Amino acid sequence: MKQQRYLLDTCICAYILRGKYNLIGCTAVAEDMVMVTQNVKDFKNIKGIRIENWIPEKL
């Protein structure tokens, strides 16, 4: 089974590093990676992209 790889958007990194919660989507598709971002609306129109939002809607 192929190991899943992830590409983190900067908002995810800031959320993790500071307790807070662009345009690298094509890299995620080209490298067969999951795009992790809270900013789903800016990436959802990229053909073939897989997106995950790791930031809960309400804390």
Is 59 contained in some domain?
no
Q: How many domains does the chain have?
A: 1
Looking at residue 29, what is its pLDDT? 86
Q: Is 18 left (phi over 0), alpha (psi -120 to 50) or beta?
A: alpha
In a domain, residue 11? The reply is yes
Token representation of residue 45: 């129109």
Query: What pTM does this model have?
Result: 0.60
Domain interval for residue 46: 6-52
For 3-55, how does the pLDDT look when each residue is reduced to its tens digit (9 = 90+)?
Answer: 888 888 777 776 655 554 347 787 788 889 899 888 888 788 889 999 999 88
Does the residue 10 lie in any domain? yes
3-state SS, residue 40: helix
Please report whether residue 42 resides in a domain.
yes
